[in-house]
Chain A
Amino acid sequence: MPYTSNKPGSPASPDDLRARIPGWGADADPAQRPAVPREQPGIETGAHWDLPEDQPGRGGREKSVEHERLTPVFGTAQPLRGVAGKVRRYAYDTYSEGQTAHWLLLVLGDRVDSTTAHVKSLFSRRPDDPITQSGILGERGHRPFASRFGRGRADLKHAWLDPILVLGPWVVTALVAFRLVRGLSRGVLLRKEQR
């Protein structure tokens, strides 16, 4: 196809589209699009304060170092606690959001949190139950076996990778440890022979 100044192809006519699609063109005028322009100074929000009053219970709440003060309002869902809390506190106190270390430490905190919570649950009256908590029982009545073949299940496409990603770090760690121990023991033997 030659490249000319015209747009190639021609979409259906407005009349065709209007007949086929409910509301076609109702917001064709950008003025009808409520978030355009994106910034609309002086918009009525319902706020009857210049600065919201401070929420009580502010002591010890973590915050990004990019904020100059704790925000007036904040969530109180799951306060920092345990080892994961210490990792998260360090991430918040030390690194800005522009530093990858900030986020990687928070991800590490998440993994520590889920591991310790799982272990703690084993000593509680309601231990974690991998069957019910995975939701896999929801597959009942939805062809749990047939769905795993040729139906594009989102969780199976890369499932072959999971054992590699889960076991891989353990295998690498074991290999490194083995080589380290072997190297050290050989060094000790060598020194003995030299004596």
Chain B
Amino acid sequence: MKAMTYRGPYKLRVEDKPEPKIEHPNDAIVRVELAAICGSDLHLYHGMMPDTRIGHTFGHEFIGTVMQVGGSVERLRVGDRVMVPFNIYCGSCYFCARGLFSNCHNVNPNATAIGGIYGYSHSTGGYDGGQAEMVRVPFADVGPSVIPDDIADEDALLLTDAFSTGYFGAQLADIAEGDTAVVFGAGPVGLAAARSCWLMGAGRVIVVDHLDYRLQKAREFAYAETVAFTQVGDIVRELKRMTGGLGADAAIDAVGAEADGHVIQHVTSAKLKMQGGSPVALNWAIDSVRKGGTVSVMGAYGPMFSAVRFGDAMNKGLTLRMNQAPVKRQWPRLFEHIRAGYLRPSDLITHRIPLDHIAEGYHLFSTKLDDIIKPVIVPAS
């Protein structure tokens, strides 16, 4: 089968790989119909996530058709069209039993700090991902869901991670009616978080980024006020000015490891891989939220230390909330919002790219060319 394979930082190609096979009785094999490139895939592409091995296939956002099931699979049948959450989880361990699907203890031998994720290095379990024609899906009775007939394929695809994660970010921000929320990052997750803040009754939503076309999207898709941090000199001071000197009630970091805005942080993290990520956006969130406010972290960071301004967080009495999103828990409510016409996650999609051209897709996404927001990979095209 054809699959995207990693060849080292900033290098990948499409190769013929052996088709995945049933490795465990509760596995399924899924033929991928649509996959997406996630902003956090770029951390892998840039060589920032430890133990990303040559030959690895990325891709944790995908939908497809079940081709084969293992002997203990009860809920899925061959031919079912499924959406697959990016988390791989057993459904029965201490964490899964409490709904913390992202923190499953039974699927990732390589680390205890993080659960299993498709196509996200061996630090998250060593599972190949969905940017391929076929993919192995462990725990088929637990993770995948049959795509409802009235949910469009591309909406279902965006719910496998990006939109659900943004929605979860807004939940973690603990927004009360009338609150001011500031979202750092106008990528797909940031845009989804900004849009979701309104669902939770926000009174004001501000999105911070540095690329004009992404801020334009934030105004159109997320009805947000926008600030280009490159235009205001000191973004924290500007956000304080906009909020009467107090700061926002909630701040959401939807940027993560490769934040721009501070050259030393960028060099030590993105370039030299000496930090778990440049914590610029996180520090801005800590500093621009009001005392007693909440900081929600959706941005992906690596496992090494990061120079986070923790003293400010302590002295301000902040609540810091974060996790990889347990996306399947959001699906029933998000289906309702889609059916009610409140949301159309697929509005975030800007590019549809054949699998054969995936290297070009990564390059466009990494460089932010062609006003790219969310690229989708079409294996069969």
How far is A137 from B369 in the complex, measured between Cα atoms in Å? 12
Contact residue among B110, B260, B332 (Cβ-Cβ distance under 8 Å from A34): B332
CA distance A14 to B198 in the complex (A): 11
Total of A-B residue pairs, C-beta within 8 Å: 298
Query: What residues of chain B lie closer than 8 Å to A106, measured between beta carbons?
Result: 50-51, 123
A52-B90, A138-B361 given; A158·B75 CB < 8 A: no
Alpha-carbon gap, A73 to B360, bound state (A): 34
The docked-state distance in angstroms from the alpha carbon of A17 to that of B198 is 8
In residues 100-156 of chain A, which contact B (Cβ within 8 Å)? 100, 103-104, 106-107, 109-110, 113-115, 117-118, 121, 128-130, 132-139, 142, 147, 152-156
Give the segment of B60-68, B149-157, B312-320, B334-342 that binds chain A: B334-342
Question: B43 at interface (Cβ–Cβ under 8 A)?
Answer: no
* A167 within 8 Å of B (CB atoms): no
Q: Give the docked Cα–Cα distance between A28 and B199 (Å).
A: 7
- Quick check: is B279 within 8 A (CB to CB) of the other chain? no
Does B126 lie within 8 Å of A35, measured CB to CB?
Answer: no
A interface: dominant SS: loop
Beta-carbon nearest neighbor of A166 in chain B: B271
Contact B55 A135 (CB under 8 A): no
Q: How far is the CA of A135 from the CA of B54 in the complex (A)?
A: 17
Question: A55 touching B305 by the CB < 8 A rule?
Answer: no
* Residue A74 interfacial (CB < 8 Å): yes
Please indicate the chain B residues that have their CB under 8 angstroms from the CB of A156 in the complex.
367
Q: Name the distance in Å between A121's Cβ and chain B's nearest Cβ.
A: 8
* A72 vs B92: C-alpha distance when bound (angstroms): 12
Q: Is the CB of A43 within 8 A of B177?
A: no
CB of A62 within 8 A of CB of B341, answer no
Q: Does A22 contact B (CB under 8 A)?
A: yes
A8 interfacial contact with B, CB 8 Å: yes
Interface residues as binary, A74-109 with B (CB distance below 8 Å gives 1, 0 otherwise): 111110000010001000100001001001101101
Closest CB of chain B to A10's CB: distance in Å? 8
Whether A161 lies near B267 (C-beta < 8 A) is yes
Residues from chain A with Cβ under 8 Å of B325 in the complex: 35
Q: Which residues of A contact B184 (CB under 8 A)?
A: none
User: Known contacts A26-B337, A28-B201, A52-B106; is A78 also within 8 Å of B125 by CB?
Assistant: no
Contact of B211 among A57, A64, A152 (CB under 8 A): A152
Question: Do B363 and A77 have beta carbons less than 8 Å apart?
Answer: no
CA distance A1 to B201 in the complex (A): 27
Q: Which of A23, A138, A157 has the most CB of B within 10 A?
A: A138
Contact among A32, A40, A72 with B106 in the assembled complex (CB-CB below 8 Å):
A72
Asked whether B13 lies within 8 Å of A132 as measured between CB atoms, the reply is yes
Q: Do A134 and B304 touch across chains, with their CB atoms under 8 A apart?
A: no
Chain A residues near B89 (CB-CB < 8 A):
45
* Cβ contact within 8 Å between A47 and B263: no
Query: Cβ of B11 and Cβ of A128 under 8 Å apart?
Result: yes
Range for the number of chain B residues in contact with chain A: 35 or more
**Do residues A110 and B7 form an inter-chain contact, with CB atoms below 8 A?**
no
How far, in Å, is B372 (CB) from chain A's closest CB?
9
Chain B residues with CB under 8 Å of A26's CB are: 199, 337, 340, 342
Q: Report whether over half of chain B's contact residues are helix, strand or loop; otherwise say mixed.
A: loop
- From B11, which residue of chain A is reached at the shortest CB distance? A133
CB contacts under 8 Å to B, within A26-74, are: 26-28, 30, 32-36, 38-43, 45-53, 55-57, 61-64, 66-67, 70-74
Residues of A with C-beta under 8 A to B98: 39-41, 43
B366 at the interface (CB under 8 A from A): yes
Q: Is residue B25 contacting chain A, with contact meaning CB distance below 8 A?
A: yes
A9 touching B244, Cβ below 8 Å: yes
Distance between Cα atoms of A121 and B127 in the complex (Å): 24
Residue of A nearest to B331 (CB): A34
Which of the listed residues B53, B57, B105, B266 has the most CB atoms from chain A within 10 Å of its own CB?
B53
Q: B166-192 CB contact bits vs A (8 Å, 1 = yes)?
A: 001001001001101000000000000
Is A62 a contact of B246 with CB atoms below 8 Å?
no
Asked if B210 lies at the interface with its beta carbon under 8 angstroms from chain A, I say yes
A7 touches B (CB below 8 Å): yes
A35 touches B326 (CB 8 A): yes
User: Once the chains are docked, how many angstroms separate the CA of A84 from the CA of B122?
Assistant: 13
Report Cα–Cα, A148/B162, bound state, in Å: 29
Specify the chain A residue showing the minimal Cβ separation from B249.
Answer: A7
B90–A109 touching, CB < 8 Å:
no
Residues of B participating in the A interface, judged by any CB pair closer than 8 Å: 7-13, 23-26, 47, 50-57, 72, 74-75, 88-92, 96-101, 105-113, 116, 122-123, 125-128, 138-139, 141-142, 168, 171, 174, 177-178, 180, 196, 198-201, 203-204, 210-212, 223, 230, 243-246, 260, 263, 266-267, 270-273, 302-305, 323, 325-326, 329-330, 332-333, 337, 340-343, 357, 359-364, 366-370
> Top 3 nearest A-B pairs by Cβ distance?
A8-B244, A138-B360, A11-B203
- 8 A-B pairs (CB sep. < 8 Å): A12-B204, A25-B200, A39-B99, A45-B97, A48-B74, A103-B303, A147-B369, A153-B368
